Amino acid sequence: MEMNNPAPRNAIDDNRHGLIGKPIDRVDGILKVMGQAPYAYEVVEGGAPAYGFIVTATIAKGMVSGIDTAAAERAPGVLLVWTHQNAPQQGAWGPVDAKDRYARSSPQLRGNRVDYYGQAVAYVVAESFEQARAAAYLVQVRYAAEAGEFELAPVLGKAQKPPDEPDQKTDSLVGDFASAFETAAVKIDANYTTPCHIHAQMEPHATMAYWKDGRVVVHCASQLLESAQQAVANTLQIAPDKVRIVSRYIGGGFGGKLPIYGDVMLSAMAARQLNRPVKTALTRQQMFHFTTHRSDTVQRLRLGATADGKLTAIGHETWAHTARFDNFMENASLQTRTLYAAPNRMTTHRLAKLDLPIADSTRAPGEAVGMLALEQAVDELAEKLKLDPIELRIRNEPAQDPELKVPYSTRQLVACLREGAQRFGWAQRNARPASVPDGRWWVGMGVSAATRSNFLMASKCHVALDRDGTLTVKMAMTDIGTGSYTELTQIAAEMMGLPVERIRMQLGDSDFPETPGSGGSWGAASAGSGLYDACVSLREKLARRAGIAPAEAVFEGARISGGGRSDSLGSLAGPLGMEATGEIKPGAMKKKFSQQAYGAHFAEVAVHRDTGEIRLRRMLGVFAAGRILNPKTARSQAIGAMVWGAGNALMEEAIVDPRYGFFANQDLANYHVASHADIPAIDAYFLPEVDDKTNPLKIKGVGELGICGAGAAVANAVYNACGVRIREFPLALDKVLKGLATRTA
C-alpha cells in the first residue's frame, strides 16, 4: 500500500484485544537478562573462530613511511598480518555522493595514506583475542606526519555550501529577512557553539564472519541491513546475494551503527582467506576514532520581533565540519524552518573540511544541536520582551508550515507547553534571574519546545500462519534496544486476534524482506506499517477460505467469525500453512502535509554561587507523537533521549587536541555521559494523539524526539538560576564562574 490518502479506520483503531497502547513487557527481555540473546561477538557458528585486532594510526595526517610486521608474524598463535602492502584487493572508496552513503564501499588498508587519527594501518589475526592484541602491539609503524586542520572556528571562512539533497534544500529564504531583521523593534543576534559528540553505545562495534558455499555470513551490529549488505558487496567486489548480514540483537545504535566499519570488512576477508570464522571487536578507545561522531557546530541565530512579541524575522545559519574526504552535513537549521511563524525567514548550512574522522548522524542529527541554539535564542528574546517564554512561543504558533505552505498533519506544541507548565509548576517560576536562593545555591527553571521530523520509509514483510495457530513474522528490521520486537509483536497479535505468545517475531537478517531498519525514528512506523499490510492480506485470505466477506470478518481469540460462521485460524491455515506479504510506501501524504512530532521540556537546576557547579534537580517532557503503541517502551525512549539532552547541555564533549588531531578524552572515564547520579528525577508524559496522515498505524517516531530541545531547557534554567547565559556547550563550571565574575563586575 502507498500513503496517498489519510488512513481509514482499521483494526488498529478498533483495538479489539487492547494490545495497542498496552504497556506489555519486552518480549525479548527474559532472553536478555538471562544472557541468552547473543550479540554479534557472542555468536558461535561455522566452527572455531580466530580473532582479529586492528592496528590504528597514531598520526592524524600524513603517510606510512615504513612498517615492520616481522615480530608480529612470529608471535604465538598468529595466523595472518595484513598491511597496505598485502591486503586483499577491494573496491575504491565511496563514492562520496552516493545516494545511500551507508552502502558505500569502505576498503581497508587501501594505501599508505593516513587521513585521520585511528585509521586502520595493520590487521592481525590469531588463535585468541589476547594473542592477536599482543601481536598487534609488535607491529612497528613509521610515519611522515603532515600539518592538518582540526578545529572548526579557524576554518569558517573556508566553509562551502554543501549540495542540495533530493527532498531538502541546503538553504531557504522566504520574504526579505535582512530588511525585516534590521527594522525589528526587538532583536537577538547571538552565536552558539556545540562540540563533537560520541555515540557511546554500550555494545562495542564487533563482527563475527564466516564463509559457507561461496557466501559470506556476517554477524555484526548494523542498524541498516540492506545498506550493510551493499557495503560489504561493494567493498569485497562480490554480488549482494553473496552477502548475508545478521544483526538480531544490538546493544545501542544512536546513529553510530548506521554505517559499518573496518571490523566487518577485515573479518569477512580474513575469514575467506583462513577458511574459518573470524571475530573482530573494537576497543572502546578505538571506537572514538574508527567509527563516526557528531560534527561540532557554530550557529548564528537572529530573531526580530514586534514590541508585543510577534516574530517578524527568523535567521539561523549553521557551520559544521566534515572529514576532508567526505561531505556529511549536520543540518542544524532545519527545524527553524517549521517551528515558529514569521513572514521573513532565512536558513543556511555551510560545511568545512577538517582532518578528522568521518562525522555522521548522531542521536537526532540536526535538531538535537540546532535546538540547543534556537531555543536559547527564543528564551533570550522573551527576556528582552519581558514576556513569559511559554507565552512568546504560543504567540508565534503558525497556522500552517511557514515555508512549505502546507498544513500540519497534527500539531500539539501549544498543548504540550500548557500541559507541561501545569504539571511542572511553572507558575511558581521567578522570571528574575538569581532570585531563588537555597543556601549557597541558586535555583531556576527553564523551558524549551521539542520537535522532530516524522518519516515513513518503504518497508516489506512476510507472515506465515501454521496449523497450530502460530504466526511467524519475518522482516530485515533491527532492534537497537528500542523495543522493535515487542511493538511489532503487539501489532501482529492485535491484527490477527492472537495472543502475544502465538507470535514468533524474526528480525535482523538480510535474507528477510527488506525494511529501512532502525534510524531517524522511522523504524516502528515503517516496519510496523509493512507488517500491518501483510496482516491485512492474510486476514483477507483467511476470510475467503472461511467463506466470510473480508469486511465482515472478526479476528478474536485465535478465531475468525462472521456471517454465522466461526473457525480457528490454525484449522484454516491447514497442514501447509498460509502465507502473505505486505508493503508500505510513502506517498502523497508526505508532500501534502508537514509532519513532525512535538513536545515541551521543563528543567529545574541549582547553581552553586561559589563553585559554579550545576545540579539538575528535575526534568519533565510532555510529548505528542501520534498513537503510542506501548507506553512503557515509549516512556523509556523519551526518558533516555532526555538524558542525552541533559548530557549534551552539561557534560558531553569530545575534546580535539589541536596539535595532533585526536580526541583526547577517548574513553568513558573521560568522556562523561550522564549517569543516575546526574539525573535524580525525570518523567515523560504523552498527550493522546492519532495522526492518520502519517501511516496506517497513525503513529509517529518517538526515539529521538526527547533529545530535541532538552538541553536548551537546562541551559535556560541555568540562566534563570544564576543570571549567566552560556552559549558555548557544554555548560561547564568554569564558564559559569567566568560569567558570575563578569556579572559581579
Q: Which helix (H) or strand (E) holds 389?
A: helix 389-395
In sequence order, what are the residues at sequence separation of 6 or more whose Cβ sits closer than 8 angstroms to the Cβ of residue 422? Answer: none
Mean pLDDT of 466-472: 97
Residues of the chain with CATH 3.30.365.10: 2-28+457-587, 366-454+595-744
Q: At what angle do helices 710-722 and 631-650 cross, to 10 degrees?
A: 50
pTM greater than 0.85 = yes
CA–CA dist 178, 327 (Å, integer): 29
Predicted pLDDT at 744: 83
pLDDT digits (tens, 9 = 90+) for 628-681: 999 999 999 999 999 999 999 999 999 999 999 999 999 999 999 999 899 999
Predicted pLDDT at 539: 98
pLDDT band at 99 (very low <50, low <70, confident <90, very high): confident
Residue 708 sits at φ, ψ, to 5 deg, of -75, 110
CA–CA dist 540, 551 (Å, integer): 9
CA–CA dist 541, 580 (Å, integer): 8
Q: Which helix (H) or strand (E) holds 598?
A: strand 596-608
CATH of 366-454+595-744, one of 3.40.50.880, 3.30.365.10, 3.40.640.10, 3.55.30.10: 3.30.365.10
Q: Which residue has the cell 508526505?
A: 590
Between 346 and 743, name the one with better pLDDT.
Answer: 346
Active site residue 704: yes
- Any idea how long the chain is? 745
CA–CA dist 221, 696 (Å, integer): 30
Q: List the end-to-end C-alpha distance of the chain, in Å, as a whole number.
A: 66
**Number of Cβ atoms within 10 Å of the Cβ of 554:** 16
Helix, coil or strand: residue 130:
helix
CATH architecture assignment, domain 2-28+457-587 = 2-Layer Sandwich (3.30)
Helix, coil or strand: residue 209:
strand
pLDDT digits (tens, 9 = 90+) for 208-231: 999 999 999 999 999 999 999 999
Predicted pLDDT at 647: 97
Q: Are strands 682-686 and 614-624 parallel, antiparallel or unpaired?
A: parallel
**Number of Cβ atoms within 10 Å of the Cβ of 113:** 12
Write the DSSP string, 611-656. Answer: T--EEEEEEEEEEE-BS-S-HHHHHHHHHHHHHHHHHHHHT--B-E
Mean confidence (pLDDT) of the chain: 97
Contact between 290 and 120 (Cβ < 8 Å):
yes
Burial group, residue 579, by CB count within 10 angstroms (0-12, 13-18, 19+):
middle
- The neighbouring-strand residues paired with 348 are 317
Contact between 266 and 120 (Cβ < 8 Å):
yes
What percentage of the chain exceeds 90 in pLDDT?
Answer: 98
